[in-house]
Homo-oligomer: A and B are copies of this chain.
Amino acid sequence: MLRKVYDVTEFLDGGSRIILKYAGKDATHVHLLAPCSRYSWIYSAEYDPIHPPDAITTNLPKEKHLGPVEPDTVEKVEIHITDEEKARLERGENKPSLSEVLNLHDFEHVAKQVMPEKAWAYYSSAADDEITIRENHAAFHRIWFRPRVLRDVTEVDYSTKILGNASSMPIYIASTATALGKLGHPDGELNLTRAAAKHGVIQMIPTLASCSFDEIVDEAKPGQVQFYQLYVNKDREITKRIVQHAERRGIKGLFITVEIVDAPQLGRREKDMRQKFEAEDPSEVTKAGSDGVDRSQGAARAISSFIDPGLSWKDLKWFKSITKMPLILKGVQCWEDCLEAYDQGLAGCVLSNHGGRQLDFARSGIEVLAECVKNLKEKRGLSFPNEKFQLFVDGGVRRATDVLKAVALGATADNDYIDAAVGIGRPFLYAFSSYGVEGVDHALNILKAEFEMNLRLLGAPTIKDVVPEMVDATNLGIHIVSVPKDNLYESNYDMMQPAKWRNEKLAKL
């Protein structure tokens, strides 16, 4: 099979030896045969590109398309299966049956063990000390319920609309922060497309999906709704082509990514970076010396460097001129920007910190939501949900209760319009990385069961009934760190012990 070859030399710094090592090469240029193949050579001995051809064809200038190459002519890299890899494959054989997977946490538990270590590191890693990625989840735990009783919940309906499109649940599939679905499964994002179709939920297609945009759209069932997550190219003509193509293909919402302003789509996540060093020849690493931190960004930088850090508010008018799709800003992180988006007539905002992968100590989307709702009410008289301007949240969701907390904070009781939703990403990636499309299907089943039960227990027969009064979010904005531990005192303290067994050896203590 012929493969296309691209010249990505200018995106590479001298340190990107991983690509040099595993990608096809000739004497003068680096050819990106297998971008990110640092992951794939474990997953697939056939060097399946993780990045789709179109991420490259669309975003690289034409003169860098070098044409096809016969794989046989490319320098071979010998693959040997390590003991660790054998153990991993054995874990795959031994994994829990799907029926034992009871919640979204379980998928993560399985994925962590059956995915290639590097793919796991890529998906699970986040910025700096990874405080924000965990805060995203923890923030939900500071919101508590105030359920109502003696309401007729014989019939429970957890369907909703998202940007006017029906959804069976108040969630959409947002694998955009990690993307690169083929790291987890050969069918990549198509697993999500298929399960979304079955369950009537909406998939947001990431720019950096492993499958090409058209592949993913082609896979959709008739009438299946899809959104598109856009990275804005420095070359606006390219962006225009992408956007108008998406609109033609029937995309129902354009999510302009604004929390990514630098290249590091794959880089500067240290857990991910630590992996890289292991892959290399230790002797080479030793020689590398202190030649800066550039190498750490590898292929990621090459792929993502087209993103325009100069994107600004004044570009929004242009977007409106090239498409009629609803425009949503993805990555808003304070009420001031949310208000500006409203004033500029956009369709909504996703309050997101990109899964904790960009700025550490950015606040969680759910915390920003509470701030936005309050300020847009005070300053513009808006109530939520609102037909004209919608707020979405992503990051850290693991339970239907997390979603319902977000719905409660963004919903208002005196409004007929129902349009509340929360993006869920990594859990679905873990689901298909462990069990393929059946995993995603099972994950959605779990969420449905949780939604049904929790709406009943909340005393809310429909999503519309999940109102702000049903949650206590008083403590949402409290970011505390305890006074450091007093080790001398604590090591002197003997913890209390339970009743003594006659023969302690026989007790399970």
Report yes or no: B313 in contact with A150, Cβ–Cβ below 8 A: yes
Within 8 Å by CB of A498, from B360, B438, B456, B491, lies B491
What's the least CB distance linking A271 to chain B, in Å? 6
Q: Is A249 an interface residue (CB 8 A)?
A: no
Q: Is A386 an interface residue (CB 8 A)?
A: no
Report yes or no: A361 in contact with B401, Cβ–Cβ below 8 A: yes
Give Cα A274–Cα B103 distance, bound, in whole angstroms: 11
Report yes or no: B498 in contact with A106, Cβ–Cβ below 8 A: yes
How many monomers of this chain does the complex have? 4
Report yes or no: B480 in contact with A480, Cβ–Cβ below 8 A: yes
Give Cα A261–Cα B508 distance, bound, in whole angstroms: 37
Query: Taking CB as reference atom, which chain B residue is nearest A310?
Result: B154
Q: Is A90 an interface residue (CB 8 A)?
A: yes
Within 8 Å by CB of A151, from B124, B312, B475, lies B312
With known contacts A278-B500, A289-B99, A262–B453 Cβ distance under 8 A: yes
B-side contacts of A494, CB under 8 Å: 112, 124, 271
Report yes or no: A500 in contact with B96, Cβ–Cβ below 8 A: yes
B-side contacts of A139, CB under 8 Å: 481
Give Cα A481–Cα B311 distance, bound, in whole angstroms: 36
Q: Is A79 an interface residue (CB 8 A)?
A: no
With known contacts A149-B329, A259-B149, A103–B488 Cβ distance under 8 A: yes
Give Cα A486–Cα B496 distance, bound, in whole angstroms: 8
What's the least CB distance linking A420 to chain B, in Å? 18
Report yes or no: B399 in contact with A483, Cβ–Cβ below 8 A: no
B-side contacts of A23, CB under 8 Å: none
Report yes or no: A145 in contact with B361, Cβ–Cβ below 8 A: yes
Query: Taking CB as reference atom, which chain B residue is nearest A498?
Result: B109
Give Cα A439–Cα B277 distance, bound, in whole angstroms: 19
B-side contacts of A105, CB under 8 Å: 488-489, 492, 498
Per-residue CB contact flags for chain A residues 437-459 toward chain B (1 = under 8 Å, else 0) read 01101100110011011101111
Which chain A residues (250-277) contact chain B, with CB distance < 8 Å? 258-259, 261-262, 264, 268, 270-271, 273-274, 277
Report which A residues bind B (CB closer than 8 A): 87, 90-91, 94-103, 105-106, 108-110, 112-113, 124, 128-131, 134-135, 137-139, 141-154, 258-259, 261-262, 264, 268, 270-271, 273-274, 277-278, 282, 285-286, 288-293, 295-296, 308-313, 315-316, 329, 331-334, 336-337, 340, 358-363, 398-399, 401, 405, 435, 438-439, 441-442, 445-446, 449-450, 452-454, 456-459, 469, 472, 474-475, 477-489, 491-503, 506-508
A selection of 5 A-B contacts at a CB cut-off of 8 Å is A100-B274, A124-B494, A259-B457, A290-B441, A474-B479
Closest 10 CB pairs of A and B: A134-B484, A105-B488, A96-B499, A98-B290, A109-B498, A359-B457, A149-B258, A154-B310, A487-B495, A146-B334
